[in-house]
């Protein structure tokens, strides 16, 4: 896979095919058994601890359900990375936090706690925290999961606009085919740890591969079976066939 600078890339596929595992390799949480991941000219698994931590400061990660610190306010959640990884004065951090929250439409929530936010609002706060240090690479793990249609569209639009505003590279792991195809530049489809299809959104929509067509259009019948492989059903029920 290649993720060009400034592009928004989607990685799709069935659960368990290796999408989130790929993000863990990019972030250096896992070491590949073969092959490599190269970010900004550096091979991730060859970096020492200091090099890996320095590389991670150039990355942003939006976890599936936001993963906000529940005992911190919205303001402190967004300020956390700035305080941990920079020597910026608190006055400047204050302005930057409000700018990030304003970018996601939630400047007015800065004093609230995560428990006071809706699911969509929490995801947007998490997005503000993700881009707090203006990362060159942003990774999203199922950013649309559990959102209502309005929040889903808002978050999708934010992901696109923030990527373009920052000039970043974004990688979106998602099952939400239709929303993703509206905002991404390129798509990789994975199955059993390998790429089975890739292309632009239009190419994916018009793919003639049965597996891709079934996934994109949500069809029941196709190469992906409904039943997990098992023994004879009647034998499992201890029925005798005459």
Q: Is the dihedral of CA 182, 183, 187, 191 positive or negative?
A: negative
pLDDT at 77: 92
Superfamily of domain 8-236: P-loop containing nucleotide triphosphate hydrolases (3.40.50.300)
pLDDT at 94: 92
Q: Is the pTM of this model over 0.75?
A: yes
pLDDT at 185: 92
The pair of three-digit structure tokens given for residue 158, joined into one six-digit string: 């934010």
Per-block average pLDDT, block size 10, for the chain (242 residues)?
A: 91 78 88 90 91 88 79 91 87 90 85 85 87 88 78 84 87 83 89 83 81 69 61 70 52
pLDDT at 219: 63
Task: Give CA 179 to chain center in angstroms.
Answer: 13
**Does residue 117 contact residue 147 with C-beta atoms inside 8 Å?**
no
DSSP secondary structure string, the chain? ----TT-EEEEEESTTSSHHHHHHHHTTSS--SSS--EETTEEGGG--HHHHHHHHTTEEEE-TT----TTS-HHHHHHHHHHHH----HHHHHHHHHHHHHHTT-GGGTT--GGGS-HHHHHHHHHHHHTTT--SEEEEESTTTT--HHHHHHHHHHHHHHHHHHT-EEEEE-S-HHHHHHH-SEEEEEETTEEEEEE-HHHHHT---HHHHHHHHT-SSSSS-SSPP-S-HHHHTT----
């Amino acid at each position: 896979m290649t993720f060009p600078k400034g592009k928004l890339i989607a990685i799709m596929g069935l659960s368990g095919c290796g999408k989130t595992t790929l993000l863990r390799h990019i972030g250096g949480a896992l070491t590949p058994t073969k092959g490599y991941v190269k970010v900004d000219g550096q091979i991730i698994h060859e970096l020492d601890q200091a090099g890996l931590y320095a590389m991670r400061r150039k990355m942003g990660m939006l976890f599936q359900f936001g993963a906000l610190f529940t005992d911190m306010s919205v303001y402190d959640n967004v300020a956390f990375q700035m305080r941990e990884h920079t020597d910026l004065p608190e006055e400047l951090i204050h302005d930057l936090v409000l700018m990030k929250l304003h970018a996601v439409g939630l400047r007015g929530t800065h004093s609230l706690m995560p428990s006071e936010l809706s699911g969509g609002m929490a995801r947007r706060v998490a997005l503000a925290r993700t881009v707090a240090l203006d990362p060159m690479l942003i990774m999203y793990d199922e950013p649309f999961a559990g959102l209502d249609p309005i929040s889903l569209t808002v978050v999708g639009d934010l992901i696109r606009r923030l990527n373009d505003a920052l000039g970043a590279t974004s990688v979106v792991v998602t099952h939400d085919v239709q929303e993703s195809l509206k905002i991404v530049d390129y798509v990789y489809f994975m199955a059993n740890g390998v790429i089975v299809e890739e292309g632009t959104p239009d190419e994916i929509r018009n793919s003639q591969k049965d597996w891709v067509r079934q996934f994109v259009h949500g069809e029941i019948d196709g190469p992906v079976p409904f039943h997990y492989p098992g023994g004879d059903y009647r034998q499992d029920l201890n029925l005798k066939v005459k």
